Amino acid sequence: EPEVTQTPSHQVTQMGQEVILRCVPISNHLYFYWYRQILGQKVEFLVSFYNNEISEKSEIFDDQFSVERPDGSNFTLKIRSTKLEDSAMYFCASSEQDSYEQYFGPGTRLTVT
């Protein structure tokens, strides 16, 4: 069964450093998303991406965040200058259609020290 993959599984970085989280969505999917979940809290939407542009973003997704689809398979989330409060699990998701049926990856645990 096709699945969304994410790398790395765990990233530790120092405050102020840039990080790039990588995702490989399911190959025939056209819609891509990033969510995050701070430990013990709700899953929060960050951004959706379609046709090489952002479709929607939340208030969390400020100028420190950016997304990119650098090639036909990868989808990345960049945080330019990490803060302690960026520590969370970051989930990538994809969907075939513009749909509530989204397929999530296993997540990247980001720890900012």
Partner 1 sequence: LAKTTQPISMDSYEGQEVNITCSHNNIATNDYITWYQQFPSQGPRFIIQGYKTKVTNEVASLFIPADRKSSTLSLPRVSLSDTAVYYCLVGADTGRRALTFGSGTRLQVQP
Given candidates 82, 88, 91, 94, which one binds partner 1 under the rule CB under 8 A?
A: 91
Reading the block at residue 91, the tokens are 């989930």
Q: Please, which residue, 66 or 106, has the CB nearer to partner 1?
A: 106
Reading the block at residue 99, the tokens are 């749909």
Residue with tokens 């999530």: 104
How are beta strands 19-24 and 10-13 bridged, if at all?
Answer: unpaired
Greatest Cα pair distance in the chain: 38
Assess 30 for contact with partner 1 (CB under 8 A): no
Assess 87 for contact with partner 1 (CB under 8 A): no
Residues of this chain that bind partner 1 (CB under 8 A)? 4, 31, 33, 35, 42-45, 48, 55-56, 58, 89, 91, 93, 95, 98-107, 109
